[in-house]
Amino acid sequence: MSATNTQTSDAAKPKGLVAQWFALLWADKFAFFAALFLLIAVLCAIFGPLLFETLATKQNLRGRNAPPFDLSRGWAFILGADALGRPLLARIVVAARNTLLVAGAAVVASAVIGTTLGLIAGYSRKRAAQWIMRLGDVIMSFPSLLLAVIVLYMLEPSIANIVLVLAITRIPIYLRTARAEVLEVRERMFVQAAKVMGASDMRIIFRHILPVILPTLVTIATLDFAFVMLAESALSFLGIGIQAPEITWGLMVSQGRPYLTNAWWLSFWPGLAIILTTLSLNLLSNWMRIALDPTQRWRLEMGGRKNG
Amino acid sequence: MADHLLEVRDLSVEFHTAAGTVKAVQNVNWYLDRGETLAILGESGSGKSVSASAVMNLIDMPPGKITSGAILLNGKDMLKMSAEERRAINGAKIAMIFQDPLAHLNPVFTVGWQIAEMMTTHGRPRDKAAARARDLLHRVGLPEPDLAFGKYPHQFSGGQRQRLMIAMALACKPDILIADEPTTALDVTVQAQVLALLEELQQETGMGLLLITHDLGVVAEIADRVVVMNGGQIVETGNASEVYHNPQHPYTKKLIAAAPGSGEMPEESDRRGEPLLRATDLHKYYSAFHALKGVDLTIMPGETVAVVGESGSGKSTLARAILRLDDPSSGQIHYRGKDLMTLGPRELFGLRRDLQMVFQDPTQSLNPRMTVFQLISEAWAIHPEILPRKQWRDRVAELLTKVGLKPEMAVRYPHQFSGGQRQRIAIARALAMEPKLIVCDEAVSALDVSIQAQVIELLAGLRREMGLSYLFIAHDLPVVRDFADRVIVMKSGEIVEEGPVRQIFEAPRKDYTRALLAASLDPDPEIQAARRTARMELEMAVSA
């Protein structure tokens, strides 16, 4: 809070915007490697199916449950092979697309819808707010798996429908968090000050309230990412999610479950991919929370220099 | 040489922060004797609380570090004692009370239990502790002390809670009581009562009282000796009245000069012609609670009207009603002849430009995620007709210069400024609208005395330059004395007295105004002593 802080931020000014953000990211090494991992995962999702589709689906019954770290069958088998002798590494790379697509779309959709509804419910004191909250309660009172089973039983199990189901079941989380935060922030003095200036409701919501509550919601969204990935695998396990030969990491975990005692690698590697993705998202969101907050940013601008 | 009751010798404390090492206090020396009141006077950031925290072992280490010095209690160095011994001293030998009693009382236990616990932790049987807790509740002057034992903290008012804290502190009959800004959060009349109680108790028990404060008035009222601190160092020390009348250090001189209520009072203003704002018969109900009971108010162009009242008097409700932040339940508000209550949203939006507000706490009234430039230019984003976008940058620079800041500060965020600078930003933001009337809701109450004087100076300058009118809301009278043309005194939603500032200060007509004036503390110990006698007489007259 003193003059020294201001000097560091002034000194960082002349650099370009991209360079500035890169410097902020580099300042937090964990976040940097998290971003790197996510970049690789996204690249896998985009190019993986093009490059390894055939490799990942080719069965090789002589290599059933081949153990990992054995290069004799070629580099693709470094992580071992599954129950049909398909190379795990290639399958993980290919599965990245479906996994990230389903989880990403579901999380983004539920976060956007839930936050919007939460902002409305928190900011307006009209009856609409009550309706929104009761709607949230209704969704929450349904076991999400039951809802998914019913919906997917009626609709075709396709990627779009899975995204739809998962998004609906996760809406109340964002709805309730956003509403609770809005109720607090709307009473803050700077919102009152904006009202005195004659600011419109839209301006108050998007300029003054949303930036304050966004970090919380982003953090929840990254945590939810893992939950959605696992929920998707549960649906796939029940036969109403992604269907073979399509693959996702969650589906790979559940397919490997019968072999856990004698071939742990079947579930372990896709599980690790899920964990690393979630962890990376979490580290990155933590970094983002600091980087986007002007009162905290100096921690990164100090360039990781430690005092005391 | 006999040992002092408590002596701090050559104490230096450092804090390691991300921004580097901060020397909180350097080579501080003071002592406290039995039956004596020592005041440590300083503004925020002066390090006035640090040495007391060191005495109570409240400094977190790390990041804090005591780099040199000794704290002697009856000649024994406390810094060399074990944590066990220190704990036995805290509460039993040395007790402390804080600024915000609500934060230091546990909301889920009854106050009687909490006072008794203070004694049971120091090894007293529970039944005896409970009995003494009852005695203490009587002693600190709570209404219905027997019922108070079983009540919870939220059922008491601010002043009563401070009495509870005092009862708790006295539970183990300490030799030393440390009071850290004990009355800052209280109303002036309550402040006077609490200080009187502290003094009485001190005379009764003969304990040493260490008072930490930013308020010269409190020093004048109660202290025998005073230590003035600035920037972590003691700049002056001595007898309270000597220091006031003959300050040696330039900082002390500045501090005394900045005390409000010593300048010339403005002459009575001309009140003919059309008023800028006229409110008639305003009522406001919060369900059953009647917050405003028929308030009338007139503000002439270029005039400053001060509304003074204690907490709960309805003064902020009045301000919010005038700005239509909370619509009044009934009554009329005319701005230049137009009825604000019947205006549609569109016309009201146009009028927003003319009526602006500066809030009490600039830390909260400025959005922490916006730069100064964004904060000030938001006015023009909302009202694009004021200024074309091309001129924003120049106008922001101009406004910043006008409120005494530098144009290059526009890229910074609010947290990079001090409290006084933040309030200047808030004023610049209000000025960006080119308003006719600015409502200042306790706009200087959260600031240090010297900063307070500067901000009032700034407001007065802007009034001369731009012909602004102010509705100035405050909880104590001295602040408005040099600044306001008219004063309205409010109590429980009603106007008690209204008149030109000179009349209110020199010939108050109502008892409540007189009580308020008598309760406000003057920095001069002699004047304060005279006031105290007057106040006693007034109290006698009221109770008789």
pLDDT in tens, A178-210: 999 999 998 888 888 888 888 888 889 998 999
CB-closest option in A1, A192, A198 to B383: A198
- Which residues of A fall within a CB distance of 8 Å from B415? 1, 294-295
Q: Which residue has the higher pLDDT, B9 or A177?
A: A177
The stretch A226-241 carries a mean pLDDT of 78
- Nearest 5 degrees, angle CA A275-CA A276-CA A280? 120
SS3 of residue B495 by DSSP: strand
pLDDT reported for residue A108: 94
Same domain, B119 and B43: yes
Residue B154 one-letter amino acid: H
Q: Is residue B488 part of a domain?
A: yes
What the block records as the tokens of A112 is: 């956007």
The conformation of residue A204, written as its DSSP 8-state character, comes to I
Q: Is residue B202 part of a domain?
A: yes
pLDDT of residue A306 exceeding 50, the answer is no
pLDDT reported for residue A117: 92
Residue B184 C-alpha from the chain's centroid: 5
H or E segment to which residue B274 belongs: none
- Which residues of B fall within a CB distance of 8 Å from A1? 415-416
Strand order from edge to edge, sheet including B37-41 = B94-97, B176-180, B208-213, B37-41, B225-230, B233-239
pLDDT of residue A5 exceeding 50, the answer is no
Q: Would you call B352 and A198 a contact, using CB atoms and an 8 Å cutoff?
A: yes
Q: How confident is the model at residue A3 (pLDDT cuts 50, 70, 90)?
A: very low
Cβ-Cβ contacts under 8 Å for A59 (sequence gap 6 or more): A84, A85, A86
- Which residues of B fall within a CB distance of 8 Å from A203? 381-382
pLDDT reported for residue A105: 93
Same domain, B130 and B265: no
Same domain, B119 and B228: yes
Q: Is residue B529 part of a domain?
A: no
Q: Would you call B379 and A197 a contact, using CB atoms and an 8 Å cutoff?
A: yes
Report the gap between the CA of A105 and the closest CA in chain B (Å). Answer: 29
**Count of the separate structural domains present in chain B:** 3
Are B48 and B212 in contact by the 8 Å Cβ rule? The answer is yes
Q: Would you call A198 and B353 a contact, using CB atoms and an 8 Å cutoff?
A: yes
Q: Is residue B4 part of a domain?
A: no
Output the domain CATH number for residue B126: 3.40.50.300
φ and ψ at B38, to 5 degrees?
Answer: -110, 130
Q: Would you call A211 and B323 a contact, using CB atoms and an 8 Å cutoff?
A: no
Q: Would you call A193 and B357 a contact, using CB atoms and an 8 Å cutoff?
A: yes
CB-defined contacts A:B, below 8 A: 92
Q: Would you call B412 and A200 a contact, using CB atoms and an 8 Å cutoff?
A: no
Cα-trace Rg, chain B:
25
Q: Would you call A197 and B382 a contact, using CB atoms and an 8 Å cutoff?
A: yes
**Calpha distance B488→B264 (Å, rounded):** 19
Of the candidates B521, B468, B414, which has an alpha carbon nearest to the alpha carbon of residue B276?
Answer: B468
Q: pLDDT tens across A56-95, in order?
A: 777 777 777 777 777 777 777 778 788 777 888 888 888 8
Are B5 and B32 in contact by the 8 Å Cβ rule? The answer is yes
Q: What is the mean pLDDT of each run of 10 residues along chain B (544 residues)?
A: 79 77 83 88 82 81 79 83 82 82 82 86 83 85 81 82 85 86 79 84 87 85 87 85 84 81 66 81 84 87 88 84 84 84 80 86 86 90 87 90 87 84 89 89 80 85 87 84 87 88 85 82 78 74 61
Q: Would you call A9 and B19 a contact, using CB atoms and an 8 Å cutoff?
A: no
Which residue, chain included where needed, has tokens 């409290």? Answer: B419
- Nearest 5 degrees, angle CA B430-CA B436-CA B439? 55
Residue A299 one-letter amino acid: R
Q: Is B377 on the interface with A (CB under 8 A)?
A: no
SS3 of residue B441 by DSSP: strand
How many CB atoms within 10 Å of residue B217?
A: 28
Report the Cα–Cα distance between both ends of chain A, in Å, rounded. 17
Which residue, chain included where needed, has tokens 């003074």? Answer: B308
Same domain, B113 and B220: yes
Report the gap between the CA of B507 and the closest CA in chain A (Å). Answer: 37
User: Which of B226, B243, B258 is the C-terminal boundary of a domain?
Assistant: B258
Domains and CATH numbers, chain A: 3-301 (1.10.3720.10)
Q: Is B461 on the interface with A (CB under 8 A)?
A: no
Q: Is residue B415 part of a domain?
A: yes
Question: Any long-range contacts for B415-422 (C-beta under 8 Å, 24+ apart)?
Answer: B415/A1, B415/A294, B415/A295, B415/B368, B416/A1, B416/A5, B416/A6, B416/A9, B418/B451, B419/B44, B419/B362, B419/B363, B419/B446, B419/B447, B419/B448, B419/B451, B420/B447, B420/B448, B420/B451, B420/B454, B420/B455, B422/B362, B422/B363, B422/B366
Same domain, B416 and B440: no
Same domain, B320 and B350: yes
Report the gap between the CA of B409 and the closest CA in chain A (Å). Answer: 10
Q: Would you call B323 and A196 a contact, using CB atoms and an 8 Å cutoff?
A: yes
User: Which of B239, B258, B277 is the C-terminal boundary of a domain?
Assistant: B258
Same domain, B420 and B283: no
Q: How confident is the model at residue A35 (pLDDT cuts 50, 70, 90)?
A: very high
pLDDT reported for residue B270: 67
Same domain, B396 and B414: yes
CB-closest option in B325, B365, B381 to A190: B365
Q: Looking at this predicted complex, what is its ipTM? A: 0.73
Same domain, B461 and B409: no
Quick one: closest CA in A to B355, which residue? A196
Q: How confident is the model at residue A33 (pLDDT cuts 50, 70, 90)?
A: very high
Same domain, B182 and B198: yes
Same domain, B184 and B271: no
For CA atoms A101, A103, A104, A105, give the dihedral sign. positive
Cβ-Cβ contacts under 8 Å for B490 (sequence gap 6 or more): B295, B307, B308, B309, B313, B314, B315, B318, B496
DSSP string of B290-335, one letter each residue: EEEEEEEEEE-TT-EEEEEE-TTSSHHHHHHHHTTSS--SEEEEEE
SS3 of residue A68 by DSSP: coil
- Which residues of B fall within a CB distance of 8 Å from A192? 325, 359, 365
Q: Would you call A298 and B429 a contact, using CB atoms and an 8 Å cutoff?
A: no
Report the gap between the CA of A94 and the closest CA in chain B (Å). Answer: 41
Q: Which of A16-25, A112-121, B108-117 has the lowest mean pLDDT?
A: A16-25
| Domain carrying residue B186 | 34-56+87-258
Same domain, B405 and B312: no
Q: Would you call B19 and A203 a contact, using CB atoms and an 8 Å cutoff?
A: no
User: Which of B226, B258, B290 is the C-terminal boundary of a domain?
Assistant: B258
